[in-house]
């Protein structure tokens, strides 16, 4: 973290909003969550982040609700498929439902989600609405996991402009109704967990170098887990949100391919991977090229390189399937705990392809929705980021 010299800004590295999103993603993946309800989704910053495909327990159902219909116009735009999504089809379906409504009302259509996320929302909520929060979230929706975050007001000591601890103290942004200490947040969270038979653990993100550990983190987080998931919800009183948009993402939905068909496509890509060491080698003598090939062991390929080819992921669906295909052929020997393979086959040395046939066009780059949702630089989670504490 660095402090700005001119305006007392505190900058987190990575940015605090990114740390929060990564925390959510890691928690969801570690618990194999496949359906997520963003409670107070705003402009869809978190939802659009969760759209990014994952090989580990991929999310197939997302929903978000927010009170502002105007804000949800941005949500719909940022959560809709891009051209990339049509060119590189995801392996599993994904539906995103965007609703307009208040978080003090439950909608029956949102029952059954694995996880409910409420990041940086409760501090914007008036007391009458917040008083119904646990009845709605735990008593009605009853998800397996709930993740709630809110600012830690104790951390405001690092923001001199907020004058924390003085009669002139202000909150991080004007729209905050409150900012809690860790004790206040934990008392509130524990009361809901105890009432509705959830466990709760507390953590946070956003620390500073050489900071006082007693101050805690900039963002405090509570993770709730249902201790009796088979029990029925205590309440069944429902209102109705306004469904703004249902978004369906395109996905690969072709019949399962045979091993022979997969091998055929695999050999197509291997002719480039196995000969890449010769790129830029201008001697036309084939014997010299073969000697160079042997010297550089160009037929040793990392299995990850095969899996990174988007078409191969579509054809195999899982890495285990890819390994089974490789084992089925005498052309390949797996080694180093299946991380590498030896190709016992030579491919034409002078293969020529058009640009539109280049296998690099069929590989998926290392991608993240951090780029997708903020590629213009201004699509951030909250105005809080502009002041250094977002």
Same domain flag for 165 and 292: no
224 neighbors 197 (Cβ within 8 angstroms) = no
We report the CATH number of the domain holding residue 184 as 3.40.50.150
361 in any annotated domain: no
Same domain flag for 239 and 297: no
Same domain flag for 8 and 36: yes
362 in any annotated domain: no
pLDDT (tens, 9 = 90+) of the chain, 390 residues, equals: 333 334 456 678 899 999 999 999 999 999 999 999 999 999 999 999 999 887 777 999 999 999 999 999 999 999 999 988 888 889 899 999 999 999 999 999 999 999 999 999 999 999 999 999 999 999 999 999 999 999 999 999 888 888 888 998 888 898 999 999 999 999 999 999 999 999 999 999 999 887 888 999 999 999 999 999 999 898 888 999 999 999 999 998 888 899 999 999 999 999 888 876 555 444 455 555 555 545 444 588 899 999 889 898 889 888 899 999 999 999 999 999 999 999 998 887 655 544 445 554 444 433 434 433 333 222 334 445 545 556
CA distance 147 to 190: 13
Residue 274 three-state SS: coil
117 in any annotated domain: yes
Nearest to 272 by CA among 333, 323, 348: 348
pLDDT of residue 292: 52
What one-character DSSP code corresponds to residue 318?
Answer: S
Residue 191 three-state SS: helix
Same domain flag for 308 and 378: no
Phi, psi of 314 (to 5 degrees): -65, -45
Residue 243 three-state SS: strand
360 in any annotated domain: no
211 in any annotated domain: yes
**CA 189 to chain CA mean position, Å:** 25
Residues 6+ away with beta carbon under 8 Å from 187: none
Same domain flag for 114 and 221: yes
Same domain flag for 329 and 245: no
DSSP letters, 115-166, are EEEEES-GGGS-HHHHTTHHHHIIIII--SEEEEEEEBGGGGGG-GGG-TTS
We report the CATH number of the domain holding residue 326 as 1.10.10
233 in any annotated domain: yes
CA distance 194 to 191: 5
Same domain flag for 42 and 133: yes
CA distance 256 to 71: 41
Work out the number of other CB atoms within 10 angstroms of the CB of residue 235: 14
363 in any annotated domain: no
β-bridge mates for residue 95, sequence order: 61, 248
Enumerate the H helices of 4-120 as residue ranges.
Answer: 16-30, 45-50, 69-78, 83-87
Count up the domains in the chain and report the number. 2
136 neighbors 102 (Cβ within 8 angstroms) = no
**CA 251 to chain CA mean position, Å:** 18
Nearest to 150 by CA among 184, 105, 127, 116: 184
Same domain flag for 174 and 26: yes
8 in any annotated domain: yes
Residue 68 three-state SS: coil
Q: How many CA atoms lie within 13 A of 135 on its CB side?
A: 12
Same domain flag for 180 and 323: no
CA distance 251 to 257: 16
Same domain flag for 54 and 180: yes
Same domain flag for 268 and 334: yes
Where in the sequence is the domain holding 242, given as residue range(s)?
2-251+368-387
Same domain flag for 98 and 174: yes
């Amino acid at each position: 973290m660095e402090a700005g010299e001119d305006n007392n800004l505190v900058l987190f590295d990575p940015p605090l909003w990114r740390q929060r999103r990564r925390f959510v993603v890691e928690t969801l993946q570690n618990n194999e969550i496949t359906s997520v309800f963003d409670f107070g989704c705003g402009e869809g910053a978190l939802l659009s982040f969760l759209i990014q495909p994952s090989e580990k327990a991929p999310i197939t159902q997302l929903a978000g609700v927010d009170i502002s219909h105007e804000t949800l116009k941005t949500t719909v735009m940022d959560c809709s498929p891009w051209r990339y999504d049509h060119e590189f089809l995801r392996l599993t379906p994904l539906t995103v439902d965007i609703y307009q409504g208040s978080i003090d009302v439950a909608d029956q259509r949102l029952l059954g989600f694995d996880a409910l996320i409420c990041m940086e929302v409760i501090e914007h909520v008036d007391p009458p609405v917040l008083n119904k929060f646990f009845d709605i979230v735990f008593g009605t929706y009853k998800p397996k996991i709930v993740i709630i975050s809110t600012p830690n007001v104790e951390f405001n000591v690092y923001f001199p402009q907020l004058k924390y601890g003085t009669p002139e103290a202000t909150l991080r942004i004007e729209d905050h109704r409150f900012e809690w200490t860790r004790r206040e947040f934990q008392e509130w969270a524990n009361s809901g967990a105890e009432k509705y038979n959830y466990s709760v653990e507390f953590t946070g993100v956003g620390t500073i170098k050489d900071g006082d550990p007693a101050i805690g983190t900039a963002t405090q987080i509570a993770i709730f887990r249902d201790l009796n998931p088979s029990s029925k919800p205590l309440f069944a009183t429902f209102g109705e949100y306004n469904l703004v948009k249902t978004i369906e993402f395109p996905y690969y939905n072709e019949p399962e391919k045979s091993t022979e068909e997969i091998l055929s496509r695999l050999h197509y890509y291997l002719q480039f991977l196995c000969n890449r060491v010769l790129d830029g080698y201008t001697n036309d003598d084939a014997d010299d090229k073969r000697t160079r090939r042997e010297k550089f062991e160009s037929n040793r390929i990392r299995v990850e390189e095969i899996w990174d080819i988007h078409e191969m992921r579509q054809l195999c669906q899982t890495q285990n399937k890819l390994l089974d295909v490789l084992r089925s052929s005498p052309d390949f020997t797996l080694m180093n705990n299946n991380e590498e393979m030896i190709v016992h086959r030579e491919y034409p040395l002078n293969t020529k392809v058009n640009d539109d046939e280049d296998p690099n066009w069929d590989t998926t780059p290392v991608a993240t929705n951090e780029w997708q949702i903020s590629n213009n630089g201004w699509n951030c989670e909250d105005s809080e980021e502009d002041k250094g504490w977002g």
